[in-house]
A and B are shown apart, each in its own frame.
Chain A
Amino acid sequence: MAADNPIDPIHQFEISKIADIQLGGIDISFTNSSLFMVFALAATMALFVIGLSKKSIIPNRMQMLSELSYNFIANMLRDQVGDQGRAYFPFIFSLFMFIFFCNFIGLIPYTFTVTSHLIVTFAFAGLIFIAVTIIGFVKNGLGYLRIFYPSGIPIFLAPLIVPIEIISYLSKPISLSVRLCANMLAGHSILKIFAGFIVMLGFLGFAPLVFLVVLYALETLIAALQAYIFTILTCIYLNDALHPDH
């Protein structure tokens, strides 16, 4: 069985049941994926509960960390969307913290990366896509359709531009979800493959080990970067929905 092989790079993405739960014939078992979702939730909660336990004017390290993340996302939202984005701040902030911790917890050996599963990232991207479309139509009415025909384009180009814009709009959730998922999947697979080389090469294993260390640093960067990209793209889509003229 591949699942028993220690150097199978795909093994780490396998979902195994921890508690079997069936609801109306649907399998909603508590799996390792669910466990690491709970871990990401717990890590976020821990950060903020500890960070906010002693609210002081001069913050300690944990409070500093929680305030830094708060200000980071708040500034991102303000820069991208403006003051109208305020209402969506809890969602954007939760989204960033959840993806950030899922990505980072996944970097620890023998853990599971929740965001390496397309269905999870697609659930987020799909939710964002639907929400943004609804917000767009609620705030602008049919005027939201203007995003498919950018201002300043000559009318004879419309038959060309409008279908392209529609396709690009519809492909947003796909690109958003695949970008995150593929980054996590590829990065973790390569890490595992090189870790396997270390074992297989014996004393020559130091060569892939050095490479693995560099790669791990890169993956750490990617874990933070992909959480950032996912969040900032969400902000950009939200801005498009709120201000379709720009």
Chain B
Amino acid sequence: MKILLKAFLLTAPINFAYAAEGQKSAGLPQMDIATFPSQLFWLVITFSLLYLFMWKFVIPRLGATIEERRDKISNDINDADNLNTEATDILKKYDEQMASASQESNEIITNSKKAMLDHLETLKKENEEKVNSLISESQAKIKAQEEKSKIEIRNATLDTVKAIVSRYIENIPSDEEINKKLN
């Protein structure tokens, strides 16, 4: 800044001298009334031409283009909105279908589960009955076998006793007597 100030102070007299000289010759060019008619004349001509150009050419065309674009954009937005509502409708339908399908499948699952359980239950019952009958049958068989064996043992014992006794004694005891003794 010091340098600038120095430079200004050094050159100031020259500048002022030029300015003064300029003033002597013409003053500020802005104040030269002689140039006013020419400036105004050409300003009127150029600005009128510009105004006509803007009014007749630029504004209608630009306005039309901008309007056209605005229409296109609003149309596109409308289309997009329509498509959007369509898509949401489809999504809704899809959701509904999904919901009914899942309900159906749930029903099928519960039904088949129930059927399966029922089947299982009947099978279980049948088997139990079978098993029970088999058990009782076997028990009966075992009992019969037991009885049979008892009788057989007794008979065998009877025979053995008779044989032994017949060796030593002439008088063979009757079966009742032996049975009495055995018991």
- Chain A residues with CB under 8 Å of chain B are 1-3, 5, 7-11, 13-15, 21, 23, 26-31, 33-34, 37-38, 40-41, 44-45, 48, 52, 55, 57, 59, 63, 66-67, 70-71, 89-91, 93-94, 97-98, 114, 116-120, 123, 181, 185, 193, 196-197, 200-201, 204, 207-208, 211
The 19 listed contacts between A and B (C-beta, < 8 Å) are A1-B25, A13-B30, A15-B35, A15-B38, A31-B35, A34-B39, A37-B47, A52-B61, A52-B65, A55-B61, A55-B64, A67-B65, A70-B59, A90-B51, A91-B51, A97-B50, A181-B30, A197-B7, A211-B4
Say how far B37's CB is from chain A's closest CB, in angstroms.
Answer: 5
CB-CB contacts of B29-68 with A at 8 A, as 1s and 0s?
A: 1101011111111110011011101110111011111101
Q: B18 interface residue, CB < 8 Å from A? A: yes
Q: A2-B25, A10-B22, A200-B11 are in contact. Are A33 and B35 (CB under 8 A)?
A: yes
Q: Which of A1, A13, A38, A114 is in CB contact (< 8 Å) with B29?
A: A13
B residues less than 8 Å from A27 (CB atoms): 34-35, 37-38
Asked if A119 and B39 make an inter-chain contact with CB atoms under 8 angstroms apart, the answer reads yes
Cα(A181)–Cα(B39), bound, Å? 14
- Chain B residues with CB under 8 Å of chain A are 3-4, 7-8, 11, 15, 18-19, 21-22, 25-26, 28-30, 32, 34-43, 46-47, 49-51, 53-55, 57-59, 61-66, 68-69, 72
Smallest Cβ-Cβ distance to A207: which chain B residue: B3
Asked if A13 and B47 make an inter-chain contact with CB atoms under 8 angstroms apart, the answer reads no
Cα(A151)–Cα(B36), bound, Å? 41
Q: Which of B22, B43, B57, B72 is in CB contact (< 8 Å) with A123?
A: B43
Say how far B20's CB is from chain A's closest CB, in angstroms.
Answer: 9
Say how far A155's CB is from chain B's closest CB, in angstroms.
Answer: 44
Contact count A vs B, C-beta below 8 Å = 163
Asked if B7 and A200 make an inter-chain contact with CB atoms under 8 angstroms apart, the answer reads yes
Asked if A193 and B36 make an inter-chain contact with CB atoms under 8 angstroms apart, the answer reads no
Asked if B7 and A201 make an inter-chain contact with CB atoms under 8 angstroms apart, the answer reads yes
Asked if A40 and B46 make an inter-chain contact with CB atoms under 8 angstroms apart, the answer reads yes
Smallest Cβ-Cβ distance to B27: which chain A residue: A10
Asked if B39 and A15 make an inter-chain contact with CB atoms under 8 angstroms apart, the answer reads yes
Q: Which of A2, A93, A208 is in CB contact (< 8 Å) with B59?
A: A93
Cα(A52)–Cα(B39), bound, Å? 31
Say how far A181's CB is from chain B's closest CB, in angstroms.
Answer: 7
A residues less than 8 Å from B59 (CB atoms): 70, 89-90, 93
Q: A15-B32, A118-B30, A208-B4 are in contact. Are A70 and B62 (CB under 8 A)?
A: yes
B residues less than 8 Å from A204 (CB atoms): 3, 7
Say how far B35's CB is from chain A's closest CB, in angstroms.
Answer: 5
Smallest Cβ-Cβ distance to A118: which chain B residue: B30
Cα(A29)–Cα(B34), bound, Å? 11
Asked if A120 and B11 make an inter-chain contact with CB atoms under 8 angstroms apart, the answer reads no
Asked if B37 and A28 make an inter-chain contact with CB atoms under 8 angstroms apart, the answer reads yes
B residues less than 8 Å from A26 (CB atoms): 37
Smallest Cβ-Cβ distance to A89: which chain B residue: B59
Asked if B38 and A33 make an inter-chain contact with CB atoms under 8 angstroms apart, the answer reads yes
Say how far B93's CB is from chain A's closest CB, in angstroms.
Answer: 36
B residues less than 8 Å from A71 (CB atoms): 66
B residues less than 8 Å from A116 (CB atoms): 30
